[in-house]
Every structure is written in structure tokens, then in C-alpha cells.
Structure 1
Amino acid sequence: MNIKTPLLLLLLISVVAWHPNDKRALTHQLVRTETDEIYNKLVKIRRDFHANPELAGNEVRTEASIKQHLLDLGIEVKTDIYGHGVVGILNSGKAGKKIAWRAEMDALPNDFTDAVEFKSKIKGVQHGCGHDVHLAIGLGIAEILAKNKEALKGTVYFIFQPEEETFVGAKSMISLGLFSEIHPDEIYGLHVTNLPVGKIMVKSNEVFAYQKRIRIELKNELSKQEAKELAKKIHNSLSRSQTNSKPWEIQHVGDPEIGLMNPNTMFKNYLIMDDNFNIYLKNEKLFLEAYLYETDQANLQKIIPGIKRVIEQEKYAEKLLSVSFIQENPTVINDAKLTQKAIKTLSGIYGTDLMMPDYGQVPYFNDDFAYFQQKVPGVYFFLGGSNTEKGIVAMNHAPDFKVDEESVRIGVRSFSSLIIERLSKR
């Protein structure tokens, strides 16, 4: 007997309506089955995006592809918010929560090794961060939920965001009226990274270290060597890490002994600062600039006074003109209550082995998903994309970055189930 899956879902739910636990288990088993059915198609979609990457602000082909996929699913589409962004709206027609899912669209400017059959066709542009995977997962979730629209309550928004790599897209979408068009109660997103495939990692509060760029302005009265020595002393004075740890070695985030999942991770309680400051002259003034990464928000206010103190100790106080942060993007901060609910929900559906604890904060990286979280409570997940047995290491922005495409299956079924569960909650 061949029955369309959505119809089967409604039929079986009605049969077991007096058994809520059975109904819930059935719903998510069907999500799993439907994800398996569309998996090969999603892999093709991902590979198409991978072969045709577009830089931030140039996501023309990507926009057209996403729009058509959503329209084919019967989902309302808006493309007039900002740039090449696409917003899909799946309204069940029944009262309920409003949930948003975000996926990024842009690629990176690099020419790293891309040893796959479907490698980039665009010289100097690659999906070296995994946004092609995110797009496939977002479209997969949209298809699963659209197929089961009649069984849902509330509304789901699919935000396909341009210009994430430049930290421009989210802020621009918001400032140009995104949340006048849609009104989510909660928002979710993910990033595939160097964790084991089949695993999802999440934590409450700060996900990344706070990223700042410091600028020190001095009178042009120091030699080049004196400036270098001053920068070194500032670096040594401010930098902080746990004993015998090297949190700047980001390739170890997935290491079970020292990585994020270990309570004794080296990726906590640190301040990392550039070893080599950018030192230059402009308008007869001397400038020293460097990026720094701090895990503790309370310590941020101590950084500028700490730098001034070193300059005074080095007898350069009279030569100092100013110390300031010239870049200080917000960081991703997960809503504590929603995070714990998400962990409980996903573990309850797919087993406790799915979820990995996160005890640290990732340096160097950040995500403008933070701007959405300033407006709407939200949760940002890490999705495992590495598979050591296959020689696949999903270390973002690095040479030989690859992703085990099984992560697409894990992402679609897990987060389709999460959204279904969240829609059913008051």
C-alpha cells in the first residue's frame, strides 16, 4: 500500500490521539523516514551550492535557487528585505508559536585545496566554512515541515541570510525591517564544524570568546624597535590561559582530552592576543593594533586600563594619545532556558548520545547570528562534520576543509523534530 507520508502522519496521529507518547514517537519516526527519503536530493543541492559559491553581497544564483526550492514546496517567499536574502514563511493556518530558522548563504574568498569532485567552479571563491551544508539543511527542514503542514500549529520562518562572513547581513536585515515582516518567538541556527559527525554540541550563554580589535595611538617618537618591544610587553601582560594550555590552537576544539567537550577544556578562562601587532605610521602618528579574544565579559572593561598601565610602566605615558576598541562585534549568547529545553528535547527523541556538552568558548570565530539573538531569544548549535575514519576534518576556514555529508541527515531530522516540538509548546 502506497500512502503519501503526510496523509499517513495525520491518519496515524488520529489513531493514537489518546496516547500522547505514542503520537510523539510516531511523529519523529516519520521525520526520520522522510529525511532519509530526501537525503540524496539534499546532498545534490549541497554539492550544487558548493560548486557555485558566491561571495558576500553577490549571492545572486544562491538567492534564485533557494527561492525556487521554497516556492516548489508551497512556502511563501520574501526577497525584498535586504540584499540577496530570502525569507520563507510556512504558516500552518492554526494558532501557535512562531519559530525562525537561520541559514547563511555566502562563501569565502580563498583558494585552499578543495579535493572533491564537486569543487568550486569559481576561482578564488569557496564554501570553506560550511554554509553550503547549512543551506541544504535549511531547505531540508523546510521540506519536512512543509510536507507535514497540516499536522503543525503556528508559523515557521526560514531566514536565508546573506553576508554573514562580513558580519553585515543579519544587522542589515534587522535594520531594514525584518522583524516588521516576521515576528518569531524563538530563533535557531547551527554551524557545522570540527566535531564528530553524528554529534550536536550546545551550551548556554557565550558560545564564542568576545572579539575586540584594540588601537593604541602614540606620538611618533618611538623607534620601530621600541614599538615592537612595547607591543610584546602589552601582549605578555594581558594574555592569559590555564596552565600548560594553548587555547589559540583551535584545531583541538574536537579533542576529547582538551577540547570543548571536556570539563577541563583548555578553551575556557583565557585572553588571547595577536603575537604580532599591526604597527604603522599615519598623519605623523604611531599606531599599534591587534585583535584579542576574551572569555569573561567582566574582564573586558579591564583591558584598556591594563594597556595604559603597561605604557606608563615603560615610561611612554606622555607619548600616549589614546587607547580604544575600534571593532567590538557582539558575540553569540544562547538563551539559557531555551538551550536546556533544546538539549532535553533532542536527547529525548534521538538519545543522549546525540548531544555533546560544551564547556568552553571558541576563539577567533564569531557569527552575526548574535544580532538576531539581541531581538529574539535563540539557540546556536555546533553540528559535527568530521569523520576521522574517512579522513574528513571539518575545520572551518582551513586548508582541506571537508564535511561528512551525513551531517546533513543529522541536521535535518534533529532540527525538524526540535521545531515540531517547540511549535507544540505554549
Structure 2
Amino acid sequence: MISISVSSAQELKHKMALAHESVKLQTDHIFNKLVKIRRDLHENPELAGNEIRTKKIITQYLLDLGLEVDTNIYGHGVVGILRGSRKGKKIAWRSDMDALANDFADEVTFKSKNKGVQHGCGHDIHMAIGLGIAEVLSKNKASLNGTVYFIFQPEEETFIGAKAMINDGLFSKIKPDEIYGLHVSALPVGQIMVKPNEMFAYQKSVRIQLKNELSKEEAKALTKKIRSFLLRVTSNSKPWEIQHMSDPKIGLMNPNTIFKDYLFMDENFSIHSKNDILFLQAYLYETDPSKLKDILPKIKQAIEENSYKDQLLSISYVQDNPTVINNETLTNIASKTLENIYGKDVVTTDYGQVPYFNDDFAYFQQKIPGVYFFLGGSNIEKGIIAMNHAPNFQVDQESIRTGVKCFSSLILERLNGSSIIEK
């Protein structure tokens, strides 16, 4: 425990208030530059494992800021290191780099120049925010107590990059005490959403192998029965209708959200046969980790009750990734810190868990306490809907301003403010 006098505490509070005002001004000053960089990244997207041009841009930007830069980490990853003038806490910020393989409609003037590749998940926004935070904090280097690591991670879409960076010795080179990151979402622009513990449902791919004695119609009918047998939702809700995640009545920000306490499987199973074996495969989404162990036995029960016991060969998970789990203490501190600086309206509580999506940021959290935020990117009045992986996915670029100022202030507070007065 560290004690601090009342006068010293007041002096520190005043000093930090001035620092956060400076953060806002500096963010506004570089905003147009960050928008330009984001648009350039959007026009030149690169798939997982191919982030060559992206790496060069990020590396040069960080070098121009005077940061130490390490590019000898897995794949096309980049780590920028900002050392403050005094020793203190070590904090990491993660930004993902890769784009998606799709050719959806993209109604912007800065469309992708790479056919079949798009930043349809918002990683271009994430990189612009990461670079912006690095620039704002680099301008405050002389007053920083501690070190900030900017991890630009490749291959997030394939769920490979984070684990590969760790296995390649990332945390033998840098040793952060905390790690933070975000993902742009369909929430209103300017809104930050967070909760302790799981941000997403547990997503698993199940493969069922049967003797190839079922007709196509029988196989389809069986998948429907399995899905119905497993289904668990509250009040006849439909948590698979992810377009409602920002609905104020049933979305994530409402305590009565439809996106909690559920288990469901994808409606359309992959069905194919090979070497006299019939394969049924689909993803499932479960919010309660204590119930995960019961799923495969229940699928077996459903198959047996539908008279296919003799045809059943095996049931297994073929994809079983970890999910993002926010550190409870850090999440509560971060929420209070942002509210104290920018007002209660900037942060909203997440009451549910998002299906379909996940993030390999989870691997970083297995090593270091961390917090993962949702950042709103939608602006209904402008016709901008930031629904990831969907046609016409767009992001209001004001989300860059929100991300840079809020999370620059959060990191600054963790280094210079709350890190001193925490008890």
C-alpha cells in the first residue's frame, strides 16, 4: 500500500487533468493525419500472413516518432517501445493488422485496390488508433512514468498471430504488466462498451461422424433435431440475430439483453461424405463455461434418441479456441478512469456475450491481465453501420478520435495517476 498526502493528491489530480486536456488537443491536432493513414490502409488491405506493406508503414511511423521498433517477431508483426523518463508500470496496447478475404459492397471513395481483399472488420481503424496513441504519448514522453509497448499483431483473422508471437518469444523481449486492446463494433460512434470476464460466447466447431447410411434428407433432419435439442435461450429470444446487438431494448447495453445465457448451433451444418463416413459439422455458441462439458454428451443423446445409435462413430470438437476474458479488477478500474476523465456517457456496461466473433487477443490475456473494449463505429444519421464482416460495413472515422483520446488518457492515468494512488 502506498499512502499519499491530501495536498499531494490534489496536486496530482490537477496535473493529470491538465495532461488529459493536452491529450484531447493533441488528438484533435493529428486527427486528419490519422484519417489519411486509415484510408491508405483501407485502400491497400493485406490478408493474414501478407501484411508486408502494412508493416512498412507502421514501422516507419513509429520510427518517426522516435520509438524503439522491433520487427524481429513472428511474421509481419511490429512492436514499438516508448520508454518514459522514469521507471514505472509497463503497459501494452494491441492493434491487429490483417484484412478479410471478401468482395462485399464498400460504398466509400477509398475502396480497396486489392480485388477480393477488404478491411471489412475494422483493423485499419484499429491501426490508426494504435498509431495515434503512440504519437500522443510520445509527445508526453518526458513526463511518463513507465513504458508503453505498441504491439501490431498480424494474422488475427486466422486466430494465429497472437499465439505465434508469444511462441516466438514476444514476452521474453517485453514484459508488460497489463495489456489493452479494442475492436470497432456496430455500437454508436463515441461509445465504449466493456464488461469483466467473457466478452464473447465460447465458440466451438463440432464434428459428428456417422456411418454413411443416411440419405441427404435424413441427415438434414437430424441436424435440425440436434440443434433443437441443444437450444437454450431466454424468453424466446434469438441471440443469433446479431444485428440487434446495439438495440437499446434487447441489445448488449440492456440488462435484459437477448445476448446472455444461451446455447445455439448454426442452422446450416456442413454435410459431406468420404470413405463411407458421413460428416456433420457446425459451430456452436455457449455463454456458460460450466456447461461446456455437457454439450458433446447431449449431442450423443440427441442422436441416440433419434434412432441413430448404431450409425454413430464419433463426436468431437475440431476447433476449440479460447475466448476473450477481461480481468475484473482492471476492467472496473478502466471504466471508472474513463468515466472520471470523459464523463459517464462515454462508457457503457456490456450485459451480454457476442456470438459468432472472437479474438485471439485471448492468448495475450492468458499471459497478462488485460482488458478488451468494444468501440462504437456506427452513425445511423449518416447511414454508417459498422457491422463487421457484413456488406457495406463502414466506420464513422470519428471513432478514431474517440479511441485515441480515451485510451491515451487511460494509459497515461495507469502510468502517472492511478498507479500512484491505488491502494
Give the TM-score, by structure 2 length: 0.96
What residue number does 2:258 align with? 266
- Runs of 5+ in structure 2 lacking a partner? 1-7
CA distance in 1, matches of 2:193, 2:184: 10
Instruction: Give the Å deviation of 1:286.
Output: 1.2
- 1:273-310 CA-to-partner distances (Å, cap 9, x unmatched) read 11121111112111111111111111111100001111
CA distance in 2, matches of 1:108, 1:343: 31
Alignment of 1:145-294 (within 5 A): 145-294=137-286
Instruction: Give the Å deviation of 1:222.
Output: 2.1
What residue number does 2:393 align with? 401
- 1:162-220 CA-to-partner distances (Å, cap 9, x unmatched) read 00001010010001100011000000000011001111000000000000000111112
Of 378, 387, 412, the match for 1:386: 378
What residue number does 1:8 align with? none
DSSP-derived class of the 2:389 partner: coil
| Counterpart AA for 2:195 | K
CA distance in 1, matches of 2:206, 2:23: 48
CA distance in 2, matches of 1:412, 1:249: 31
| Counterpart AA for 1:88 | G
Of 46, 53, 63, the match for 1:54: 46
CA distance in 1, matches of 2:402, 2:355: 26
Q: Is the 8 A contact 1:17 1:23 kept in 2?
A: no
What residue number does 1:100 align with? 92
Q: Is the 8 A contact 2:212 2:276 kept in 1?
A: yes
CA distance in 2, matches of 1:139, 1:316: 56
After superposition, the Cα gap between the structure-2 partners of 1:284 and 1:17, relative to the gap in structure 1 and judged at 3 Å, is: closer
What residue number does 2:295 align with? 303
Q: Is the 8 A contact 2:85 2:143 kept in 1?
A: no
Alignment of 1:29-40 (within 5 A): 29-40=21-32
Instruction: Give the Å deviation of 1:134.
Output: 0.3
Q: What root-mean-square deviation, in Å, do the aligned CA atoms of Structure 1 and Structure 2 show?
A: 1.1
Q: Is the 8 A contact 1:83 1:162 kept in 2?
A: yes
DSSP-derived class of the 2:334 partner: helix
Aligned residues: 411
CA distance in 2, matches of 1:30, 1:295: 41
DSSP-derived class of the 1:97 partner: strand
Of 330, 338, 351, the match for 1:359: 351
Give the stretch that moved more between structures: 79-88 or 314-323. Answer: 314-323
Off by >3 Å, runs of 4+ in structure 1: none
CA distance in 2, matches of 1:136, 1:338: 24
2:309 is the alignment partner of 1:317:
yes
What residue number does 1:12 align with? none
What residue number does 2:119 align with? 127
CA distance in 2, matches of 1:104, 1:138: 9
2:334 is the alignment partner of 1:346:
no
Instruction: Give the Å deviation of 1:18.
Output: 6.7
| Counterpart AA for 1:379 | V
Of 52, 63, 69, the match for 2:55: 63
After superposition, the Cα gap between the structure-2 partners of 1:71 and 1:305, relative to the gap in structure 1 and judged at 3 Å, is: same
Q: Is the 8 A contact 1:203 1:334 kept in 2?
A: yes
| Counterpart AA for 2:346 | L
- 1:292-331 CA-to-partner distances (Å, cap 9, x unmatched) read 1111111111100001111111222122111111101110
Q: Is the 8 A contact 2:126 2:182 kept in 1?
A: yes
CA distance in 2, matches of 1:222, 1:361: 36
Give the TM-score, by structure 1 length: 0.95
CA distance in 1, matches of 2:99, 2:12: 43
- 1:217-253 CA-to-partner distances (Å, cap 9, x unmatched) read 1112222222222111101100121123111111111
Q: Is the 8 A contact 1:194 1:395 kept in 2?
A: yes
Q: Is the 8 A contact 1:108 1:129 kept in 2?
A: yes
CA distance in 2, matches of 1:305, 1:311: 10
Of 53, 64, 88, the match for 2:80: 88
CA distance in 2, matches of 1:88, 1:63: 12
| Counterpart AA for 2:340 | G
CA distance in 1, matches of 2:279, 2:47: 31
- Runs of 5+ in structure 1 lacking a partner? 1-15
Q: Is the 8 A contact 1:242 1:269 kept in 2?
A: yes
Give the stretch that moved more between structures: 195-204 or 222-231. Answer: 222-231
Instruction: Give the Å deviation of 1:17.
Output: 9.4
Q: Is the 8 A contact 2:195 2:349 kept in 1?
A: yes
| Counterpart AA for 1:248 | W
CA distance in 1, matches of 2:41, 2:216: 47
CA distance in 1, matches of 2:10, 2:209: 71
DSSP-derived class of the 1:318 partner: coil
| Counterpart AA for 2:26 | E
| Counterpart AA for 2:245 | V
Give the stretch that moved more between structures: 312-321 or 355-364. Answer: 312-321
